[in-house]
Amino acid sequence: MGNQKIKLGIPKGSLQEYTLKIFKTAGFDINIPPRGYFLEIDDPEIECFLLRPQEIPKYIERGELDLGISGDDWILESKAKTIEVSDLRYAKRKIKKARWVLAVPKDSKIKRVRDLQGKIISTEAVNLTKDYLKKNKVKAKIEFSWGTTEVKPPRFTDAIVDITETGATLRAHNLKILDTVFLSSTKLITNKAAWQDKWKKEKILDLTLLLQGAVSGEEIVNLMMHISEEKLKGILKILPKLTSPTIKKIAGENWYDVSIGCEEKETRRLIPKLRRMGCQGIVEFPADKVIL
C-alpha cells in the first residue's frame, strides 16, 4: 500500500490562489514551480497537477486523475461522468459564484430570450448554452468563442453567453445582461474507479474532511469572554447554537471563562449585545479548521 498515490488536479486561473490557500489551511503545502504543471505537495501519497478547470472533469472521467477541483459549469459543459464528493462552497465568501449570463448590445432589438430565435450566439460554454436554449424552446446558432467574447457583438454575433461576477466588463463593452444562464459553484470530484478503490476512497474522504473544515473555518470565529455567575444563565441563552460553549470557572472568583464558535458575520451584532449584558474581556480569534 505504501506506493499508492492519489492523482489530484488543482484548477489553474481564478480558483487557483484560493484553492492553494484552502489546502494550506487544511495542512498541505503546495509549491508551484516557475514552469510546468507538476506541483510539489508535502504528502507522498498525492501527485498534484495544475490544470485548466475546463480540462479537469474529462481527465477525471478517463482516470488520468483520481480527484480534482472544478466548477460545476465546466463539469456540465464537458458532459463528463464524474462523482461529486463535496461542494466546497468557495463562493460563499472569498469567491463569488461564477455567473454565466446572456448579454446583448444595449441598443439591440433583442429584449428577451425568445427574440434569439434564428440569431447567432457566441460563447465558450456551448453545451450550457444549448441546454439553456432548449429549456426556453428557442433555436439559434451557437458559435464557440476562443476568448474575449465580450468584443464580438454586434459585428460578429447577435448575443453572447459569458461568465461574469460584477458585470463591469460587459457594461464597459456597451452590453446589457438579459438573463442568468447558470450559477456555478466549486466541486471536488472523483471517478467510479477511484471511489471503488478502498485505499483511494479513504484517502479522498480524509482529504475532503480537512478541506471542508478549512472552508468552514473561513466563516467561523471563536469568541472568548468573562461572565459573572449571576449573569451566566441569561447570557448562555442568547449565544449562537453553532457549537456548545466551553465554560470554565475562574479559580477563587464568581466569574466564568466562556468560549463559543460563531459565524463571523454575527459578531458585529453579538459583541455589542454581550458587552451591554455585562460580559468583559471579549476576545475574537479565527478558527482555521472547523470540523463539525
Express as a percent the part of the chain with pLDDT over 70. 96
Question: What would the pLDDT profile of 3-54 be if each residue is shown by its tens digit?
Answer: 799 999 999 988 898 899 999 999 999 998 887 789 999 999 999 999 999 9
Q: What is the pLDDT of residue 8?
A: 98
Question: What would the pLDDT profile of 90-127 be if each residue is shown by its tens digit?
Answer: 644 555 567 999 999 999 999 999 999 999 999 999 99
Mean pLDDT of 243-268: 89
Q: Is 249 helix (H, G, I), strand (E, B) or coil?
A: strand
Q: What is the pLDDT of residue 244?
A: 84
Q: What is the pLDDT of residue 2?
A: 57
Q: What is the pLDDT of residue 235?
A: 94
- Residue matched to cell numbers 460578429: 156
Q: What is the pLDDT of residue 289?
A: 76
Q: Is 244 helix (H, G, I), strand (E, B) or coil?
A: coil
* pTM, entire model: 0.81
Question: What residue spans define the domains of the chain?
Answer: 6-93+186-217, 98-184, 220-286
DSSP H helical ranges for 112-243: 126-135, 168-172, 192-196, 198-217, 229-238
Express as a percent the part of the chain with pLDDT over 90. 75
Average pLDDT, the chain: 91
Q: Span 6-93+186-217: which CATH code?
A: 3.40.190.10
Question: What would the pLDDT profile of 134-144 be if each residue is shown by its tens digit?
Answer: 999 999 999 99
CA 51 to chain centre: 17
Nearest-5° Cα angle at 56, 148 to 32: 85
Do domains 6-93+186-217 and 98-184 share one topology? The answer is: yes
Q: What is the pLDDT of residue 36?
A: 75
DSSP 8-state assignment for residue 140: -
Residue 64 has pLDDT above 70, yes or no: yes
Pairing of strands 83-87, 186-190: antiparallel
Contact assessment for residue 195 and residue 66, using Cβ atoms and an 8 Å cutoff:
no
Q: What is the pLDDT of residue 92?
A: 46
Nearest-5° Cα angle at 184, 179 to 185: 150
Contact assessment for residue 205 and residue 291, using Cβ atoms and an 8 Å cutoff:
no
Q: Span 220-286: which CATH code?
A: 3.30.70.120
Pairing of strands 98-105, 175-184: antiparallel
Q: What is the pLDDT of residue 20?
A: 93
Residue 181 to residue 138: CA distance in whole angstroms: 14
Quick one: cell of 194? 477511484
More confident: 33 or 196? 196
Residue 167 has pLDDT above 60, yes or no: yes
The domain defined by 98-184 folds into D-Maltodextrin-Binding Protein; domain 2 (3.40.190)
Residue 242 has pLDDT above 80, yes or no: no
Contact assessment for residue 214 and residue 25, using Cβ atoms and an 8 Å cutoff:
yes
